[in-house]
Structure 1
Amino acid sequence: MRFRLRVLGWVTLVVAIATGATAWLTLTITTAQVADATVASERDIETIISTLAGYGQAQGTWQGVPATVENLSQTTGQRIRLVTEVGEVIVDSDTIAGRTARTPKAPTYWVNPRPVLEIAEQDLKLAIKITTTAITNYRIDVRRAACLTAAEVTMSVNGLFNGIPRLLPAERQLRLTDPVRFRSVLNDCNAFAIQTSEGQRAADMAAAQTCDGSVDRLACLRVAFADRTASDAPVPLQLQLGAVNEPQAPAGPILAAAALVAVLAIAATMLLSHRVLRPVTLITHATRQLALGQLDRRVPLVGNDELTAMAHSFNQMADSLQRAEERQRRLIADVAHELRTPLANLRGYLEALKDGVIAADPAIFASLHDEAVLQQRIVDDLQELALAEAGVLAYQRHRIDLGELLETCRVAHIAIAEPAGIRLVIDCPTPIYLEADPDRIRQVIGNLLSNACKHSPPGGTVTLRAVASTSHAVIEVADTGTGIAEADLPHIFDRFWRSDTARSRRTGGSGLGLAIARQLVLDHGGTVGAVSQIGAGTTVTITLPY
């Protein structure tokens, strides 16, 4: 029997059996009323619990949680009810939706927003100090968060310290649209939290010191933290999902749907059996040739169905592999080209010194040392670029002031700009803050600033500009230099590319700076591009997310 017929026969048999079994099982379950409750999936349960626990942890209170419950109920399709340990209902999505509250369905889950102190320190005195500080800070944070929540300010967790969250306002929109009200509310809540927490540190330390002599001191300190913060932290709540006696599915539509699925599946199988084999054979053959190194092999595209899409994906993969191979070969050639001549010069000078053809003097050794340093710089830049492109370059992200960082870069380049008669200007009218690695961003801006100074004539100006958009910070490095030809703009971030082929490495750098800068920006989730006009100057634009 031909493979096409075997495929048709087996698929038809499987479809018929699967459809019949599905219809029978569905009807049996419906008849027996096993599915009389809406049961959340494990993923829904995890999402609901983590979201609610995150809300209580960040806000420091359960006030305002109905909006979150309503959103979760709409997203997951689940009836959600939160109840205290003594049975008091905090919120019920049935009530929110305007329905009569139904009897909840077992089982019950717990939502616990209270953090657990994590201490690895074995020194008892230091561990007691850490515990006391954690109790004090958490108490102040929770009281401030609860106060801000009452003022309709959304909070967020800004990192964990020994397992304890630090809570900060997340209402950026309120901060921008009504800064006066935001500052007033924040000051009032800060004062309230600090004033109501005064005088409790001694009792906190006394509670921690009771662990001296305990068999498990770290466990004792965790209990002390929990006891001292229990009156401020939001209480754990019972989570109840679903309701009994949910509407049952009638048997008639189920059987009709099963029959329709079977007919459609068999018809589709018959249709596919005529069309599947040839495209699959072509793709299989092309895959084998690709594995043998024939990277120019492609699959012809005919039609507009799923198999054509698969063939198109294969061609895209082959294109990507071919481009990667070409980039690798070009990189090897570029590296060999960059290193061949200077290494030959070094070898020639060293052999001449060895044979006594030229006399050894400080000038010769200084020149050889400078050349060796240049080669080391190329190798270091290549290593940094390789690490960045491989995604293993380490980043230390902090909240940085962009205006302050630009000023640091400007001051660092005054020694280059002033002797050349170039003026460095900063245009950052408003404070801009973002999460980034300050050293890497300074490296990017410094590289662009150095290039701008090299290409600007005496009397020129290089402007560092920063503006804030809705979701990104925009940095511009604009010069009044010679400009870049339009045909060269797409290549300025390529490895070893130079606009002036006559420039040497000594005057033009390693040719890797802009490639490294682009990769560092991409690793921060940003973009980089450039516009230029011959004789008017060049502007490089960087966007970085907050």
Structure 2
Amino acid sequence: MDTEGPEVTGERLPLRRSLLVRLLVASITIAVCSVAATAWLAARTTTSAIQQEQGQVLADDAQIYDTLIGYAAGHTDWSGVTPTLKRLTGRTGRHITLTTQDRRPIAASGTATTLPTRASALIDPLRADPALLPGVKADGIDPRAVGPYRLPGAERKELRFQVLKLQSCMRGAGFPAGVTEEPSGRPSLVLSGDNSTQRKAGEVCGLYVLDDPTTTEKRALDRLNTLVAGCLKRQNMGPAVVDLSFTPVGKGGEAVQRCVDTARREQLAPYVAQPALLFVATPAGTPAAAGFDLSSANTVRVAGIAALVLVLTVAVTVMVGIRLVRPLRALTDAARRPAQHHLRVPVTTNDEIGHLAAAFNDLAERRERVEVQRRAMVSDVAHELRTPLSTIRSWLEAAQDGLAASDEAFVASLLEEALLLQHIVDDLQHLAQADAGRFRLHPEPVRLRELLDQVTAAHRGRVETADVTLITRTEGDPTLTADPVRLRQTIGNLLSNAIRHTPPGGAVTLRCRRAGDQVLIEVADTGTGIAADDLPRVFDRFWRADKSRSRQTGGSGLGLAIVRQLTEAHGGTVSVTSTPNTETVFTLRLPLSSD
């Protein structure tokens, strides 16, 4: 034991270190991946922050653009725009400058600065950018540029009275409606529901009265239609009439619509401010742009967190590795102990290592059981061989000393003991062949009725000597593919065993019948039977029901073991049931051959 301790310890360390190294490598890899994922997440977060900042810049630019377009649509010049620019600067933090298209200053929100090389946008309510102003139609004319269509107070009051009256009618008819006011001052009803609902509501309350233009709108529409007619005439096209929706009535096409848009711009031009270039910059004078700067303190903080994650990962991995290695070391120690110790290891977890420890304990238990069986088998073999050899030796020594006459009875006795010894050796050889998988079968079609008759005839003499009744019953004429010699040996062993354990006057029954895709061969006797505790050991080698191991009540103890081996070699099974002092039945189940 002193020489094995250091050796075991010396061989155990590399395994332990190897496992720890692999765990460390795995954990470091995971940590690196985690750090990389954290960096990726930080980059994505930064990108998201930049995108949000850019979105805010775009929103501010859109607000500036919308406010200035609205101002230009409601004023004929830029003379009073400076307060508006200052309010926008205070709200967005941008420096705003307006110039003419040839870059002459118009107004600014603060002290003059160097203008960027490129303007942010062109402020023209008659050619607005639909991308920055979602309410603008494809013609690019801001809806707030109403010009001559702006209603005076009297007309607004009259229209509002009509709208409120219609709204009351709509509510009474079960069609709720809201009231809005267009940039020109014209009030209108807002109906919910689909087109059919709106059409029905219009028929009930007569909403069509709102479609009639006022006096102011008629004058503006007459001027617009004159301009449209002139445009169409220049293109050799017929006249078209435009209503308050600024679409041609009864005549369409891109050319007509272009004339309508051109005429509207010409009509509205005197009522809006001249086009101006918009410059938006930061207070320092550079163009407004989103930015994100990771300070050195934040950089150090991120690096520190990453290092902390790495250290914690390594520490946790070392702890987990030690906990994993400890039961493995116990398993290694138990496995390296001498085979006769059959050590067990404690099962403390329900994970893979716990399952491994349980499997090791099960293996040790089966190994111990096999060792016990091996020792018992060696003892049984020695006992079985010693008896005939001792008899032969004693007779020979007596003959050598002149105490026994070498006559016919002497030779017959020695021959009987030699045959018994040969029988034991043959049985051991059969079992050895079966264990080694070298049990050779020569299968052929076998009629069981004929085979059972042959077995019965071979045991007729023993049955008569034992004063036992032998009954054979076969249902039908089943046929299977089997080795007839081995099958006769199997049934013969069972029949011999039954005759041996049946007292005089008893009966042994040999039955055969078909059961589905199997054939059942049963050997029943009315002998002493087998105790329930002994049934699991019936087919063990050298086991006998008679613990005295008497030759008169038991054979070599290998017959039933050979029966099981031969049956399994044919792809079948053998079982036994017993009622002590009443009946014992051995059943062979063999697969049927094709008829």
Q: TM-score, normalising length from structure 2?
A: 0.46
Q: In terms of Rg, which structure is larger?
A: 2
